[in-house]
């Protein structure tokens, strides 16, 4: 194994999961996890080997998020700083023998201020393309985010109340993993709460604005995605958003108190911009991908189950072959062990 990326928990929604997904499309990586969301793993396994951590890992380069809690042996080891160290509650520390990579100047600056050590700056890669889809008629807002305090839940409520009070005709669709809580807190009839989805590119491109009103961000992946797709954004005035290219031609910036919201600009503003994402330097560490998701590998059944793909019952202890991608998915459901 050459380049292993480890994340303790691959969740159902989040920027780090998309970071792996984008990176794997362009580079040769393997991803290991301790806890994993089945659908995220199914998506990721189309581009790289995805494995549940069951034994010590041996590789050339080992990349980990935050603190590392697994055994491994590597020639080089790296922590990736995906968050704003000055504004979140993670235990930001420096460990001797590790190299550090920040995904933005914001991440690097905060880490250096806290630890005295300067990380290497390598921006996230975002390999998506605009299709040129026609916009929905009327004012349509979209958000794809966790509905938590730090992701701007209170500001979302405030903005929807402001639009309602002003008599604005709009639809705001929010894709989130906290649907019940969101419905109890957001009372506007113009706000539609939906379960999160892993691919919303078409919906973002067809919307009037993407809204992301976070307390802090280190990069702002959904904002970057939206700008690539030609959709302006309504955001909090964060340094990270400015760093990735948010300006007056493509953004409406709000203060934390939401006292400067320009309703007229949301309704009538004209946005004409071209956006180029920040240059990614991951090629200095990673090679081009060689993974084949259809290559068959041997697995062993842990529990009797009905395999819908094979249309047969698989008995416990049976050894058989499935594709790399299928093996990753079955392993995430604790149905098989992979024999490699």
Per-residue pLDDT, 339: 92
Q: Has residue 90 got a pLDDT over 90?
A: no
- Residues forming beta bridges with residue 233, ordered by sequence position: 210, 251
Backbone angles phi, psi at 39, to 5 degrees: -70, -35
Q: Has residue 287 got a pLDDT over 80?
A: yes
Out of 5-19, 203-217, 264-278, least confident range: 5-19
Segments of the chain assigned to CATH 3.40.5: 292-340
CATH number of 292-340: 3.40.5
Segments of the chain assigned to CATH 3.40.50.2000: 1-122, 139-268
Predicted model pTM? 0.93
d(CA 3, CA 213): 35
Domain 139-268, CATH class in plain words: alpha beta
pLDDT tens per residue across span 191-201:
999 988 989 99
Q: Are strands 139-144 and 170-176 parallel, antiparallel or unpaired?
A: parallel
Q: Has residue 144 got a pLDDT over 70?
A: yes
Per-residue pLDDT, 14: 79
pLDDT tens per residue across span 93-114:
999 999 999 999 999 999 999 9
- 65 band by pLDDT with thresholds 50, 70 and 90: confident
At the topology level of CATH, where does 1-122 sit?
Rossmann fold (3.40.50)
- Average pLDDT for the chain: 94
pLDDT tens per residue across span 213-236:
999 999 999 999 999 999 999 999
């Amino acid at each position: 194994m050459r380049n292993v990326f480890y994340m303790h928990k691959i969740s159902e929604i989040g920027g780090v999961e998309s970071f792996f997904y984008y990176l794997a499309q362009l580079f040769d990586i393997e991803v290991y996890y301790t806890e994993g969301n089945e659908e995220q793993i199914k998506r990721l396994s189309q581009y790289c080997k995805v494995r549940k951590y069951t034994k010590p890992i041996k590789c050339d380069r080992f990349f980990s998020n935050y603190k590392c809690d697994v055994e491994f042996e590597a020639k080089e080891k790296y922590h990736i700083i995906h968050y704003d160290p000055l504004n979140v509650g993670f235990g930001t520390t420096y460990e001797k023998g590790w190299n550090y990579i920040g995904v933005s100047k914001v991440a690097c600056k905060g880490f250096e201020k806290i630890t005295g050590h300067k990380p290497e700056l390598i921006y996230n890669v975002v390999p998506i393309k605009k299709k040129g889809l026609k916009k929905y008629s009327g004012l349509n807002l979209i958000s794809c985010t966790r509905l938590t305090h730090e992701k701007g839940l209170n500001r979302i409520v405030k903005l929807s109340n402001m639009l309602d009070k002003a008599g604005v005709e709009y639809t705001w669709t929010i894709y989130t993993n906290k649907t019940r809580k969101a419905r109890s807190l957001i009372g506007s009839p113009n706000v539609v709460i939906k379960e999160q989805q892993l691919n919303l590119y078409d919906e973002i491109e067809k919307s009037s604005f993407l809204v992301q009103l976070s307390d802090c961000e280190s990069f702002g992946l959904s904002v970057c995605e939206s700008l690539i797709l030609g959709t302006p954004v309504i955001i909090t005035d964060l340094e990270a958003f400015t760093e990735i290219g948010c300006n007056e031609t493509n953004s409406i910036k709000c203060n934390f108190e939401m006292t400067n919201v320009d309703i007229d600009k949301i309704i009538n503003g004209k946005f004409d911009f071209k956006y180029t994402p920040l240059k990614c330097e991951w090629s200095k560490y990673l090679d081009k991908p060689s993974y084949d998701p259809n290559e068959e590998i041997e697995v062993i059944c842990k529990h009797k189950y009905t395999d819908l793909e094979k249309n047969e019952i698989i008995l416990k202890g049976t050894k058989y072959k499935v594709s790399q991608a299928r093996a990753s998915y079955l392993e995430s459901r604790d149905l098989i062990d992979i024999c490699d």
